[in-house]
């Protein structure tokens, strides 16, 4: 799986469970993605201080420019952050400020602007108050992310193809990935790993499909699926 960049979602507050996930997935070059549940946990922050390999910090920063910039300053000691996320909805100024501050942590960091969450669909957007479809909103946010100078974007596999067609060099990270036959759970817009990569995703995020049940067996399922 070396040619495919795959992230493993470590969204858990149980430090022993996280260590188990990393132990079983690291030999296959799966990159850990630490979400808010782990980062906010009692031992999460300390674990990341001492983590020696590159990882993604999926904080989905969303606030006014000054606040998200200050938040990044408070984690400047986490030198191994290679990827970090910010909501595209913070606007152009917020994205630019976040990018500038993130580069002070790691000069090669890839800031990924998060578009419409994969748990949302067109009905959900109408309930919130948006009139545009998911696809139209994601394209607008992609343009904003590109204008701000970010290298990455987080979007579902459903939008990966249209984003790739318009932005050839953008790093497209696709969550909401499930192995064939697995339940969607709280996701609305999902694809299989192979379908997402074929659609244009640069990388994918897998969570429950890998660490629910026997991790080694699930990794074998993934390997067979990608062949």
User: How many structural domains does the chain have?
Assistant: 1
pLDDT of residue 227: 85
161 is a catalytic site residue: no
**CATH code (residue 65):** 3.20.20.70
Per annotation, catalytic residue among 5, 20, 60, 96: 60
Burial of 42 (0-12, 13-18, 19+ CB in 10 A): exposed
Cα–Cα dist 124/117, whole Å: 10
Q: Which residues contact 76 (CB under 8 A, 6 or more apart)?
A: 104, 105
pLDDT on residue 212: 85
Tens of pLDDT, residue by residue over 12-70, are 899 999 999 999 999 999 999 999 999 999 899 999 999 999 999 999 999 999 999 99
* pLDDT tens, position by position, 134-174: 999 999 999 999 999 999 999 988 899 999 999 999 999 99
Indicate the burial class of 227 (C-beta count within 10 angstroms; 0-12, 13-18, 19 or more): exposed
Phi-psi region of 129 (alpha: psi -120 to 50; beta: other; left: phi over 0): left
Q: Other CB atoms closer than 10 Å to residue 136's CB: what's the count?
A: 13
Q: Name the residue range of residue 108's domain.
A: 5-226
């Amino acid at each position: 799986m070396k040619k495919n960049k795959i992230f493993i979602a470590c969204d858990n507050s149980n430090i022993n469970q996280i260590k188990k996930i990393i132990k079983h997935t690291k030999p296959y070059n799966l990159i850990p993605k630490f979400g808010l549940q782990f980062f906010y946990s009692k031992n999460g922050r300390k674990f990341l201080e001492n983590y020696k390999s590159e990882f993604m910090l999926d904080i989905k920063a969303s606030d006014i420019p000054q606040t998200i910039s200050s938040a990044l300053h408070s984690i400047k000691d986490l030198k191994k952050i290679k990827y970090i996320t910010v909501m595209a909805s913070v606007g152009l100024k917020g994205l630019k400020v976040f990018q500038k501050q993130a580069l002070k942590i790691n000069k090669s960091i890839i800031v990924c602007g998060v578009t419409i969450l994969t748990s949302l669909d067109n009905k959900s957007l109408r309930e919130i108050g948006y009139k545009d479809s998911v696809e139209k909103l994601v394209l607008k946010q992609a343009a904003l992310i590109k204008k701000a100078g970010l290298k990455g974007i987080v979007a579902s596999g459903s939008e990966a193809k249209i984003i790739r067609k318009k932005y050839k060099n953008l790093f497209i990270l696709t969550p909401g990935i499930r192995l064939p036959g697995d339940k969607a759970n709280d996701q609305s817009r999902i694809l299989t790993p192979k379908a997402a990569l074929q659609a244009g995703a640069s990388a994918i995020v897998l969570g429950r499909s890998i660490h629910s049940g026997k991790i080694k067996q699930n990794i074998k399922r993934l390997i067979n699926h990608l062949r």
